[in-house]
Chain A
Amino acid sequence: MMTINDYLKLFDEGKLTPEELLESCCSKIDPDLNAFITVTKERARNAIGSVDGKIRGIPVAVKDNINVKGVPTTCGSKILKGFIPPYSATVVERIEKEGGLLIGKTNLDEFAMGSSTENSHFGLTKNPFDRERVPGGSSGGSAVAVATGSAIIALGSDTGGSVRQPASFCGLVGLKPTYGRVSRYGLVAFASSLDQIGIIGRNAMDVGILLVIIAGKDPLDSTSVTVDVQDYTDLDGSLEGIKIGIPEEYFIDIDEDVLEAVIEIKEILQDVGVSFPSVSLPTSEFVIPTYQIISYAEASSNLARYDGVRYGLYHSGVNFSDEIRKTRNDGFLSEVKRRILVGSFVLSSQAIGEYYEKALTIRSLIKKEFKDALDKVDYLLTPTTPSPAFKIGERFDDPLKVHLSDRLTAGANLAGIPAVSAPAGMSRNNLPIGYQLMGRPFDEKGLLSIVHQVEKIKPFELLGE
Chain B
Amino acid sequence: MEEFKPRMGIEVHAQLDTTTKLFCSCPVAFGEEPNTNVCPICLGLPGVLPVLNKRAVELAMRVAFALNCHLHKESRFARKNYFYPDLPKGYQITQFKFPLATSGSIKVDEKIIRIKRLHLEEEAAKLIHLGDKTFVDYNRAGVPLVEIVTEPDITSAVMAVDYLKKLQKILQFTGASNAVMARGEFRCEPNISVSCEKGKLGTRTEIKNLNSFRAVKRALKYEIKRQKKILQEGGTIKQETMRFVEKAGVTRSTRSKEEASDYRYFPEPDLPPLLIKEEWMEKVKRSIPTLPEERKKRYIELGLNEEDAIIIANSKKASNLFDETIQQLDEPLEISKWIIREFRAHNEPNISPTSLASLVKMVIQGSISRIIGSKVFSMMVRTGRTPEEIVKEKSLLKISDKEALTSVVKEVFAENPEEFKDFQNGKSKLIRFFIGRVMKKTKGRANPKEVGRIISEYEQKH
By a beta-carbon cutoff of 8 Å, the part of chain A in contact with chain B is 66-67, 73, 75, 80, 83, 85-87, 89, 184-189, 191-193, 219-223, 297-298, 300-301, 303-307, 309-311, 320-321, 324, 344, 347-349, 352, 356
Looking at chain B's contact residues, is the secondary structure mostly helix, strand, loop, or mixed? loop
Residue contacts A-B, CB under 8 angstroms, 17 given:
A73-B46, A188-B47, A192-B270, A221-B49, A223-B49, A297-B266, A301-B81, A301-B266, A305-B44, A305-B46, A305-B89, A306-B90, A309-B88, A309-B136, A347-B81, A347-B265, A348-B262
Contact of B84 among A193, A220, A320, A344 (CB under 8 A): A320
Contacts of B49 in A (CB 8 A): 184-185, 220-223
Q: In the bound complex, do residue B46 and residue A219 qualify as a contact, i.e. CB atoms below 8 Å apart?
A: no
Q: Which 9 A-B pairs have the closest CB atoms?
A: A304-B90, A347-B264, A192-B269, A193-B269, A188-B46, A186-B47, A305-B44, A305-B89, A188-B47
Contacts of A298 in B (CB 8 A): 266, 269
Q: A459 CB to closest chain B CB, in angstroms?
A: 38
Given contacts A222-B272, A297-B266, A298-B269, are A304 and B43 in contact (CB under 8 A)? no
Given contacts A297-B266, A298-B269, A348-B264, are A222 and B51 in contact (CB under 8 A)? yes
By a beta-carbon cutoff of 8 Å, the part of chain B in contact with chain A is 40, 43-52, 79, 81, 83-85, 88-91, 136, 262, 264-266, 269-272
Q: B7 CB to closest chain A CB, in angstroms?
A: 26
Contacts of B52 in A (CB 8 A): 222
**Max count, chain B CB within 10 A of own CB: residue among A298, A310, A349:** A310
Q: B428 CB to closest chain A CB, in angstroms?
A: 84
The answer for the CA separation of A85 and B46 in the assembled complex, in Å, is 8
The answer for the CA separation of A191 and B266 in the assembled complex, in Å, is 13
Contacts of B136 in A (CB 8 A): 309
Contact of B47 among A67, A191, A348 (CB under 8 A): A67
**Max count, chain B CB within 10 A of own CB: residue among A80, A185, A348, A349:** A185
Contacts of B84 in A (CB 8 A): 320
Looking at chain A's contact residues, is the secondary structure mostly helix, strand, loop, or mixed? loop
Contacts of A219 in B (CB 8 A): 51
Contacts of A67 in B (CB 8 A): 46-47
Q: In the bound complex, do residue B47 and residue A347 qualify as a contact, i.e. CB atoms below 8 Å apart?
A: no
Contact of A222 among B90, B91, B271 (CB under 8 A): B271
The answer for the CA separation of A187 and B148 in the assembled complex, in Å, is 35
**Max count, chain A CB within 10 A of own CB: residue among B49, B79, B83:** B49
Looking across the interface, which residue of chain A has its beta carbon closest to that of B77? A222
Q: B341 CB to closest chain A CB, in angstroms?
A: 52
The answer for the CA separation of A67 and B79 in the assembled complex, in Å, is 24
Contacts of A185 in B (CB 8 A): 47-49
Looking across the interface, which residue of chain A has its beta carbon closest to that of B263? A349
Looking across the interface, which residue of chain A has its beta carbon closest to that of B79? A301
Q: A382 CB to closest chain B CB, in angstroms?
A: 26
Contacts of B90 in A (CB 8 A): 301, 303-307
Contacts of A223 in B (CB 8 A): 49, 269-272
The answer for the CA separation of A220 and B47 in the assembled complex, in Å, is 11
Q: A217 CB to closest chain B CB, in angstroms?
A: 12
Q: B141 CB to closest chain A CB, in angstroms?
A: 11
Looking across the interface, which residue of chain B has its beta carbon closest to that of A193? B269
Q: In the bound complex, do residue B83 and residue A324 qualify as a contact, i.e. CB atoms below 8 Å apart?
A: yes
Contact of A73 among B43, B47, B85 (CB under 8 A): B47
Q: B45 CB to closest chain A CB, in angstroms?
A: 7
Q: In the bound complex, do residue B46 and residue A310 qualify as a contact, i.e. CB atoms below 8 Å apart?
A: no
Looking across the interface, which residue of chain B has its beta carbon closest to that of A312? B46
The answer for the CA separation of A236 and B51 in the assembled complex, in Å, is 39
Contacts of A305 in B (CB 8 A): 44, 46, 88-90
Q: In the bound complex, do residue B262 and residue A349 qualify as a contact, i.e. CB atoms below 8 Å apart?
A: yes
Contacts of A352 in B (CB 8 A): 264, 266
The answer for the CA separation of A320 and B87 in the assembled complex, in Å, is 12
Q: B50 CB to closest chain A CB, in angstroms?
A: 7
Contacts of B46 in A (CB 8 A): 67, 73, 75, 80, 83, 85, 188-189, 305
Given contacts A297-B266, A356-B266, are A85 and B45 in contact (CB under 8 A)? yes
Q: A71 CB to closest chain B CB, in angstroms?
A: 13
Contact of B51 among A189, A220, A300 (CB under 8 A): A220
Q: In the bound complex, do residue A320 and residue B85 qualify as a contact, i.e. CB atoms below 8 Å apart?
A: yes
Looking across the interface, which residue of chain B has its beta carbon closest to that of A350? B262
Q: In the bound complex, do residue B269 and residue A344 qualify as a contact, i.e. CB atoms below 8 Å apart?
A: no
Contacts of A221 in B (CB 8 A): 49
The answer for the CA separation of A253 and B2 in the assembled complex, in Å, is 74
Given contacts A307-B85, A310-B88, are A187 and B47 in contact (CB under 8 A)? yes
The answer for the CA separation of A201 and B52 in the assembled complex, in Å, is 35
Given contacts A222-B272, A298-B269, A301-B79, are A85 and B89 in contact (CB under 8 A)? no
Looking across the interface, which residue of chain B has its beta carbon closest to that of A321? B83
Q: A348 CB to closest chain B CB, in angstroms?
A: 5
Contact of A87 among B40, B83, B88, B270 (CB under 8 A): B40
**Max count, chain B CB within 10 A of own CB: residue among A303, A307, A320, A348:** A307
Contacts of A80 in B (CB 8 A): 46
The answer for the CA separation of A221 and B41 in the assembled complex, in Å, is 12
The answer for the CA separation of A16 and B155 in the assembled complex, in Å, is 84
The answer for the CA separation of A184 and B262 in the assembled complex, in Å, is 29
Looking across the interface, which residue of chain A has its beta carbon closest to that of B52? A222
Contacts of B85 in A (CB 8 A): 307, 309, 320
The answer for the CA separation of A305 and B84 in the assembled complex, in Å, is 10
